[in-house]
Amino acid sequence: MILLGIICPAIGTALIYKKKLLNANLIAFTILPGIVISKALGLHTLIGGFIGGVIGALLSELPSINKNKNPASVINIFTCGMIGFGVLIIPLLGIKIDLEAVLFGDLLTTSLRDLKIMLAPSFFLFIFFLLTFFIGKSTYSEFNQKSTPANLIKIFFYTLFLNFMTIIVIASSVSALGVVCVIPLLSVPSLLGIEKRSPNLPIAMVVSSIFGLAISTTVFLLSIIFNLSPGPLIGAFCLLLLVAKFFVKDLINFLKYIYRLFS
């Protein structure tokens, strides 16, 4: 879980810069039917999860290909549809699966083999970071395709690898966090407002990973002390941080207003 606290925010930072974080939701929930089908076929869940993630990545690009004016609504429909499809085929295929563990993770069922599988994204993250560092200036504007045609070729292959990394990270984290609770870790950079504070993507990835490490370590310790499930706990913890962020910001603005009123 602590390892995922480093990897997920780094990938999430790139997704935020590319405005693809919503796509990650679709990829995550398309992994669900992939896991169910692989279970029915007697395959390792990572195989089905990866195939499902690839399908999710392709579906997430359909709105932009078709130049849909409201891509978020299309992606949301696909996402909800994949959740429903994944749940419905469980009784149809006549298999027994711990749906709660798949959706929210269960560290008690995580084995040494699962840990080795989680180490794979670490290797790819290192390659991903190098690509990010050498792709050019690696700035916010470049990753939103405000650059020359030559750089757009680099960006295309970078985006392809980003989708691959997203699939690998989510699929390998199912045993620890589940397909639902990995999303808050991917979204951790948004708590920092990282895209506004650091236009340089490599630096933003490092800062987000440090912040994610602090969150995952805290949640892991709390889950042990209070005997709570770490997946849902990390979602609730990130929600509290988000609420606190807005509260502190509003409180500071209110104090500034009072100061100006009496000064």
Q: Taking 60 as the threshold, does the pLDDT of residue 145 lie above it?
A: no
Q: Taking 80 as the threshold, does the pLDDT of residue 119 lie above it?
A: no
Mean pLDDT for the stretch of residues 223-247: 87
Per-residue model confidence (pLDDT) at position 115: 63
By the 8 A CB rule, do 214 and 234 touch?
no
Digit-coded pLDDT (tens) for 63-99: 776 676 788 888 889 999 999 999 999 999 988 888 8
Q: Taking 70 as the threshold, does the pLDDT of residue 45 lie above it?
A: yes
Q: Taking 90 as the threshold, does the pLDDT of residue 55 lie above it?
A: yes
Range of lowest pLDDT (114-118, 187-191, 236-240): 114-118
Q: How far apart are CA 16 and CA 33, in angstroms?
A: 26
DSSP string, the chain: -HHHHHHHHHHHHHHHHTT-HHHHHHHHHHHHHHHHHHHHHT--HHHHHHHHHHHHHHHHHHHHHTT-S-HHHHHHHHHHHHHHHHHHHHHHHT----HHHHHH--GGG--HHHHHHHHHHHHHHHHHHHHHHHSSS-BHHHHTT-S-HHHHHHHHHHHHHHHHHHHHHHHHTTTTTHHHHHHHHHTHHHHHTHHHH--BHHHHHHHHHHHHHHHHHHHHHHHHHTT--HHHHHHHHHHHHHHHHHHHHHHHHHHHHHHHHH-
Range of lowest pLDDT (213-217, 234-238, 251-255): 251-255
User: Which residues make beta-bridge pairs with 139?
Assistant: 200
In percent, the amount of the chain with pLDDT more than 70 equals 84
Q: Mean pLDDT highest for which of 55-64, 142-151, 217-226?
A: 217-226
- The pTM of this model reads 0.83
How sure is the predictor about 217, in pLDDT bands with cuts at 50, 70 and 90?
very high
- CB neighbourhood size of 173 (10 A): 28
Checking 57-64 for CB contacts under 8 A at 24+ apart, the result is 57/23, 57/27, 57/163, 57/166, 57/167, 59/26, 59/30, 60/20, 60/22, 60/23, 60/26, 60/27, 61/23
Structural domains of the chain, with CATH: 2-234 (1.10.3470.10)
Per-residue model confidence (pLDDT) at position 143: 56
Range of lowest pLDDT (18-22, 41-45, 133-137, 148-152): 148-152
Digit-coded pLDDT (tens) for 156-204: 777 788 888 899 888 888 878 888 889 999 999 888 887 777 777 888 8
Per-residue model confidence (pLDDT) at position 32: 92
The CA distances from residue 3 to 44, 53, 159, 172, in Å, are 22, 21, 23, 11
- CB neighbourhood size of 126 (10 A): 10
Per-residue model confidence (pLDDT) at position 194: 79
